[in-house]
Structures are given as C-alpha cells and as structure tokens.
Chain A
C-alpha cells in the first residue's frame, strides 16, 4: 500500500514538474544551507584541532605577570608597577621543583631563548637568521625534520657546544642548496654588535607555516643552537626567564594541570613577592574558546537555514492545498471506489513527504558540494557526520509529514458527493 502510494506520489509530482521543482526549492535551499554550514563548521573545527596538534595541544604556558592586588589588598596598576628584578624571574630551581613534583604528569619543560636576528653575509650570498637556543624538550616540541647531518650530539646541551642546525632555506641561500657542503661550515653572525659563531651539524626542513611575510630570499629562519650555548653568551637569557612552556604528559588535562602548577609555584615562590606572580594559559583553553565562538557562529547560521526551511515547509503546505483543490474530483472518485479517509490522508501525506525527501536529498547533495568548495577555499577539510546527514533526511521527511498533514486531512474529510460534483 505504501509502495503504491509512493508510486502515485511520484506520478502526481512528475505531472507538474515546474510546480514540484518550485515547491522543492525552499526545501532544497534550506537543507543545502544547513548541510553547508555543518560541513564548514566541521572543517573549521578540524582546522583548529590540527593547528593545535602542530603547536602542541599538551603545552601549557606559565608566565610572570603583575599581581591583581598587593599584600594589603590594594589594586596594583599594571602600568605603574615596578620593573621586574632578578628575584622576580622563574629560576632553574623552580623548574626542577616542578619536574620533580609533577613527575609522570609532566613530560618536560620546554625552554628557549633567542639571541636575536642577524643577516649572515658571505660575498654576494646572504641569509637572514634568528639565533634560537633550545633545551632538549623545546627541540623535541619543535619536531624538526633533519635532512642532513647528525644533529646535536648527546653532550651538546650540557656542554653548551657552539653547534647549530640551519634550515634548508639557509643552505639554498648560502650554499646553492648543497647540504653536504654546508655541514661543518661556520655560521658567523653579529647581533647587537656582538660576534657569534656556530658550526653547522645538521640541516632541518623549514616549515612554511612559520614563515614570516617577505620574499623567499629574505625569509628569516631559525639557527637552532643548544640553549646553554646561548645562555653562556648572553647571561641575561639564563637569569631573566619570564615564561616557560610545560609539556603535559599524554592524557593529562593541560588546563587543569596548568592551574595546579601555577597555584603551587605561587604559594611556594611568589607568596612574599609584592608585585609579581605566575599566571598560566593553555592552548587547549584557547582552542576551546575559539571553538565555542565557531560553534556559536555555526548555530546562528543554522538558525537562518532553519528559517528558510520553515518558509519552504509553508510553501509545501500551500502547494498541497492547491493540489488537493485541483484534485477534488479525483478524491471523490477514490472515495466512491472505496478509499477510506485514512487512505486518502496517507496518499497526500506520502506525496508531501516525497516532495520533501527528494528536495531534501538534492539539498543535502548541493550543501555537501558547496561546503566542500568553501572548506577547500579555507584550506581545511571536513565532512558532516553520517548521523547528521541521516538526521537531515529524516528531518526533511518529518517536515513533509508535518506540513502535509493539515492539507491531507482536509482532503480526507471531503464529502464524497461534493467532491464528485466539484467542477
């Protein structure tokens, strides 16, 4: 019976192609926009997640900042607070304390210090570098891909060896891309009128994402050096650490861990400090905020889609009423042939559900395609879940049933004599 009804519905819809199409249009636009927004929303979420993954979702940052109030409870004005002194900075002892206390929950502390930028010149070749000191954890977090050379030797960090890793861009600029020729050579740089030199022990692949604006030739790439070497050359770097990156162990809630560590450090080391304390933030927290905003935008757009879907639904209802008036005699005939009210109702509800389902399917396909295009332009990829699509399909069918019910019921209640005599 249902199959027969679906067949009848398709015949009725085919008979009036233009009208059927226009009726469907509202549903198509509504569902297409819903699905498109879902696709784009998911793509954005994926993008945020993958960026987070690159930057280290497990990273949490501790930094020294001005306290909100002094020991007397008076507010401290950020701008008039005294400058930081040596005793305000984070120390090596604190870091060792953190590592010891949170053993197992913390993978390590990533520490880096930059000597500064320099232009390295050799004849008519030149390259822009930033001398970046890293400790083993920071090196690990950077996740560099070594293209040539052996990299740092085990003792280099402790000894503060004057060795470095340069980018393939640097090799392109200075050695015409010959990596083997670069190994063993010296990087000679001048920062703030001080001369520094490091022996190249490896070449890493430059990650374009971290590139600054500028031409290929002038791009600044890191000259990666053991942190101790940098600290020995510029003791300020060793004594003036105002920010550290703690890498949380896998499975740790980095936001919660950051709060715990900050609380611990503040109670132990900054309780008596009149102006400064430690604060924290985690990438996860940032990402969650961003995702909340993205979701809010997504829902706002979905609400717009829902309104157009509603308008489409009213259109379906309108057309169904017109169609039923046009087919009054048919309804009368069917009743004379023994169709019950229930059967007539089912016939028209089926018709309306089929319009919405077909329109919905077309809308979903268009929405998926458009969503993919927009996601591609944004440089992300994402698909709505299968559940989401099925939900949309069921929703559009339910929609048809809902908006078809009233007209169908009107048809079912027609008096057979009046219907038969209708001109």
Chain B
C-alpha cells in the first residue's frame, strides 16, 4: 500500500555545544516516518530527548546530522523565511502551556496563523469562527485567555493549530497541565479530529496511558527509539 509520508526523518543526530569541551549528543541517530492520517505518539521520560526531537520535527531547530523532509519539503536546506512559512502552513502546534497570546480574544488567537499567512480580514474571521465552533468554543469567542479555563484554553489552542489546514498537528504534552477529566475531553477532541477529518497527529507525552490510545507508539530513551508498537487501547 502506497502511503504518503508526512514526516520522513533519517538518522537524526543532535549535538549541543558542538566543538566545545562540553559537547553533548542528545539524539543518536533517529529514524522517524509518519504517514498522512496517522495518530502517533512519542513516549519518553524527561531527559529522553523527546523535547529536542519535537523541536526538530516542528522545525524550530535543525538537526546536526541527518535528513528531514516534511510533506516532501527538505527543511534542512530551507532559509529562515521559508522555515517561517513552513511552520505557518504545514505545522499546527499545541503546547502544554497553551501559549495563547494574552489580552487578545480567542477569536484573534485563532486568526493569528491566518494573519501571518496573509488571509484577508473577513476570511480570517469566517475561518476562525468555523474552527472555534468545531472545538465547541463559539460562545467564548470574544473572551481573552485569562477569562478561560485550562481546558477551554487548550481547545482554543487546538483550533488555532488547525487554522491553515496543516499537514501535521504537533502536540507537546497537551494534557500535562490539565486535570484528568479535562485532559480526557482534550484527548477525545484529538481522536475526533483524527477519525472524522483524517488529521495527522504526533503526540509527545510522558504518559504511557495516553500513548496507548494512539495508533502507533514510539518509545524514546536516552536519545534512541527503543520500541515501536500499536497502541493497546486504540479504538478504530
């Protein structure tokens, strides 16, 4: 079966303080392939290198060695301006700490990636309203982040991540700051987006329980992927 590769990373090595006495290798040659429409999780305890990997996958950082193409684009060769565009068009970030822009409304937050993409004001509003409706936040559109609960904030953040129809949603501990009940609703939202819209999701977490819900589970330890298997409780 020919499947379209969204993430195609080969032999990723990441070193810090290169050339200095305290040179440190965090990732020791990681291969990672994710197909369109997959829901994959990367599990690891703190210090396993999962944050570094996520930065590289999210092209916030470049690998020291290895190749990485995202949706067919070789990101290692791209310039800064192109990287900004790729982040804007191809990736939707969901952070543990939501990272909504303070003092601006939920609507304005969702509009932001569209603004950077150069979408006109009226179309931005239309699209943002549609997305907020999808995550069930229509009645909170005009609220600023400090007027929203954690779960609501994360739902706004997910709507924002989806704004430009990215090829990949990259979620870094999305339930880490939420109680288990709200965390559940956020996970349910990811499942819904994956099943109903076929959105590709990479979930980075330290929680095995959450990882087991996903299609494919990769375990990272000390900068190496030590295991890969199907999620035990994935229901599809």
Contact = CB atoms under 8 A, between A and B. Distances in A.
A208 interface: no
A73 B88 CA distance: 91
Contact of B101 (A334, A338, A342, A343): A334
Nearest to A343: B116
B235 interface: no
Contacts of A338: 84-85, 87-89, 113, 116-117, 164
B99 interface: yes
Interface in A251-290: none
Interface in A1-51: 1, 4, 8, 11-12, 15
B55 A11 contact: no
A417 B88 CA distance: 16
Q: Which of A330, A337, A420 has the most CB of B within 10 A?
A: A337
Interface residues of A, number: 23
Given A4-B115, A341-B80, A336 B87 contact: yes
Interface in B62-91: 80-81, 84-85, 87-89
A339 interface: yes
B87 A11 contact: no
B118 to A, nearest CB: 8
B116 A337 contact: yes
Interface string B106-117: 000000110111
Interface in A339-386: 339-343
Given A338-B84, A340-B80, A417-B61, A11 B99 contact: no
Contacts of B104: 8, 11
Nearest to B172: A420
A335 B116 CA distance: 10
A342 B85 CA distance: 12
B55 A337 contact: no
Contacts of A8: 104
A329 interface: yes
B25 to A, nearest CB: 17
A332 B101 CA distance: 11
B206 interface: no
Interface in A300-357: 329-330, 332-343
A416 interface: yes
Q: Which of A15, A336, A339, A340 has the most CB of B within 10 A?
A: A336
Nearest to B55: A417
B109 to A, nearest CB: 9
Contact of B88 (A11, A12, A329, A337): A337
B50 interface: no
Contacts of A329: 99
Contacts of B85: 338, 340
Contacts of A416: 60
A237 B3 CA distance: 120
Q: Which of B93, B115, B118 has the most CB of A within 10 A?
A: B115
Contact of A335 (B84, B89, B100, B160): B84
A339 B80 contact: no
Contact of A337 (B61, B80, B93, B103): B93
B102 interface: yes
A417 B116 CA distance: 19
Interface string B99-140: 111111000000011011110000000000000000000000
Given A329-B99, A330-B101, A337 B60 contact: no
A7 B55 CA distance: 31
Given A416-B60, A417-B55, A417-B60, A339 B103 contact: no
A115 to B, nearest CB: 84
Nearest to A15: B103
Contacts of B89: 338
A333 B60 contact: no
B96 to A, nearest CB: 11
B58 interface: yes
Contacts of B116: 334, 337-340, 343
Contacts of A334: 101, 112, 116
Contacts of A420: 60, 95, 99
Contacts of B81: 340-342
A417 B62 CA distance: 11
A299 to B, nearest CB: 44
B103 A333 contact: no
A336 B58 contact: yes
A420 B60 CA distance: 10
B103 A336 contact: no
A337 B113 contact: yes
B164 to A, nearest CB: 8
A112 B219 CA distance: 113
Contacts of B99: 329, 332-333, 336, 420
14 contacts: A4-B115, A15-B102, A15-B103, A329-B99, A334-B101, A335-B60, A336-B87, A337-B93, A337-B160, A338-B88, A340-B85, A342-B81, A343-B116, A420-B60
Closest A-B pairs by Cβ, 5 of them: A338-B88, A333-B99, A340-B84, A338-B116, A416-B60
Given A330-B102, A338-B84, A342-B81, 8 more contacts: A334-B101, A336-B99, A337-B112, A337-B160, A338-B87, A338-B113, A340-B84, A340-B116
